[in-house]
């Protein structure tokens, strides 16, 4: 039977960008934009407090995604608390392709483990990652949110896997966030069921090149971020996103759709002033570094 700790537990979880061009559903990068959450066990009831990004659109009850993730993790550890208070300060934009739902799920499972005395013995990192990926349905955002850095992830038989790879310290990411979001289900619904063999082979080669480019040869990032499988296909849902990606790439900037979009991610160097000048009116730019820490209790 689990014993709960006294006092609040706090966690910080990074934004993530999945796919990165050719790495569809398999490559993800953690970025230095973090949600901060706090939870504590109460004698009874449920209190959910939310401020910041997406606060106006999320439920304040058991339907809240962080609460659902916490409940699943408590179930894994064998005990539900009598009551809960959850406080969320959201920075990661919702429905923009920056991993807000994965951050919520990862925050929930890590908070739950932190609230249980000896939680590390009841739920290992591998077990929490598996649970988080099960809840999200795919690991490409969950893996970097949980582990940090650049992660290659997927499923082998009945288990998820996540392997971290190095990232060259010279690499900076600039994200351009549009004012309106696109739901992942809508963006994914535009993808074809069958793709040409040549396109699949081309993407496989570029995904392999991307691992090398990010790890120490950033001069290859433009070629390495070329995609054939999902970005152009999503254009009907985000025409301005694809317009910006194409304009940047035509000028030699390694730009991609971040996750399911509509945010655009562009890889740059230490001087990002020229990139920032390309931000469309009404969009919000962020200059971000690669976050190597992943989810952490604070």
Instruction: Specify which of 185-194, 197-206, 263-272 reaches the highest per-range mean pLDDT.
Output: 197-206
Determine what percent of the chain is predicted with pLDDT higher than 70: 100
Q: What is the model's pLDDT at position 1?
A: 66
Q: 218-234 pLDDT, tens per residue?
A: 999 999 999 999 999 99
Q: What is the model's pLDDT at position 10?
A: 98
The verdict on whether residue 198 carries a ligand-binding annotation is no
Q: 234-284 pLDDT, tens per residue?
A: 999 999 999 999 999 999 999 999 999 999 999 987 788 989 999 999 999
Strand order in the sheet with 255-257: 255-257, 264-268, 172-177, 284-288
The verdict on whether residue 96 carries a ligand-binding annotation is yes
Q: 92-136 pLDDT, tens per residue?
A: 999 999 999 999 999 999 999 999 999 999 999 999 999 999 999
The verdict on whether residue 97 carries a ligand-binding annotation is yes
The verdict on whether residue 93 carries a ligand-binding annotation is yes
Average pLDDT for 211-215 = 97
The verdict on whether residue 102 carries a ligand-binding annotation is yes
Q: What is the model's pLDDT at position 187?
A: 86
Q: 127-166 pLDDT, tens per residue?
A: 999 999 999 999 999 999 999 999 999 999 889 999 999 9
The DSSP output letter for 55 is G
Q: Is 41 helix (H, G, I), strand (E, B) or coil?
A: strand
Determine what percent of the chain is predicted with pLDDT higher than 90: 92
Q: Would you place residue 17 in the very low, low, confident or very high pLDDT band (cuts 50, 70, 90)?
A: very high
Compute the distance between CA of residue 28 and CA of residue 101 in angstroms, rounded to an integer.
14
The verdict on whether residue 266 carries a ligand-binding annotation is no
The verdict on whether residue 270 carries a ligand-binding annotation is no
Burial class, 297, CB count within 10 angstroms (exposed 0-12 / middle 13-18 / buried 19+): exposed
Compute the distance between CA of residue 142 and CA of residue 12 in angstroms, rounded to an integer.
14
The verdict on whether residue 95 carries a ligand-binding annotation is yes
Q: What is the model's pLDDT at position 150?
A: 98
The verdict on whether residue 84 carries a ligand-binding annotation is no
Q: Is 19 helix (H, G, I), strand (E, B) or coil?
A: strand
Distances (CA, A) of 54 to 15, 95, 181: 14, 9, 11
What is the sign, positive or negative, of the torsion defined by CA atoms of 288, 292, 296, 298?
negative
Beta-bridged to residue 199, according to DSSP, are none
CB-based contact 288:173 (threshold 8 Å): yes
């Amino acid at each position: 039977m689990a014993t709960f700790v006294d006092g609040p537990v706090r966690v910080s979880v990074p934004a993530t960008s999945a796919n990165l061009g050719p790495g569809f559903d398999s490559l993800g990068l953690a970025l230095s934009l973090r949600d901060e959450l706090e939870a504590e066990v109460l004698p009874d009831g449920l209190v959910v407090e939310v401020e910041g990004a997406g606060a106006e659109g999320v439920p304040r009850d058991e339907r809240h995604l962080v609460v659902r993730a916490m409940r699943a993790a408590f179930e894994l550890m064998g005990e539900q608390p009598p009551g809960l208070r959850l406080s969320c300060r959201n920075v990661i934009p919702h429905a923009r392709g920056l991993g807000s739902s994965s951050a919520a799920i990862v925050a929930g499972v890590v908070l739950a483990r932190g609230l249980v005395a000896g939680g590390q013995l009841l739920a290992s990192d591998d077990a929490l990652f598996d649970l988080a990926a099960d809840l999200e349905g795919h690991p490409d955002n969950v893996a970097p949110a949980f582990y940090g850095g650049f992660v290659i992830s997927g499923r082998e038989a009945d288990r998820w896997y996540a392997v971290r790879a190095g990232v060259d310290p010279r690499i900076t990411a600039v994200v351009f966030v549009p004012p309106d979001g696109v739901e992942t289900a809508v963006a994914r619904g535009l993808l074809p069921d069958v793709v040409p063999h040549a396109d699949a082979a081309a993407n496989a080669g570029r995904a392999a090149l991307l691992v090398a480019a990010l790890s120490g040869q950033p001069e290859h990032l433009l070629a390495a971020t070329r995609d054939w499988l999902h970005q152009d296909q999503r254009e009907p849902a985000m025409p301005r996103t694809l317009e910006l990606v194409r304009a940047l790439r035509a000028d030699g900037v390694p730009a991609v759709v971040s996750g399911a979009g509509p945010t655009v991610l562009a890889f740059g160097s230490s001087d990002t002033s020229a990139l920032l000048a390309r931000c469309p009116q009404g969009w919000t730019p962020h200059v971000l570094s690669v976050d190597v820490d992943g989810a952490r209790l604070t």
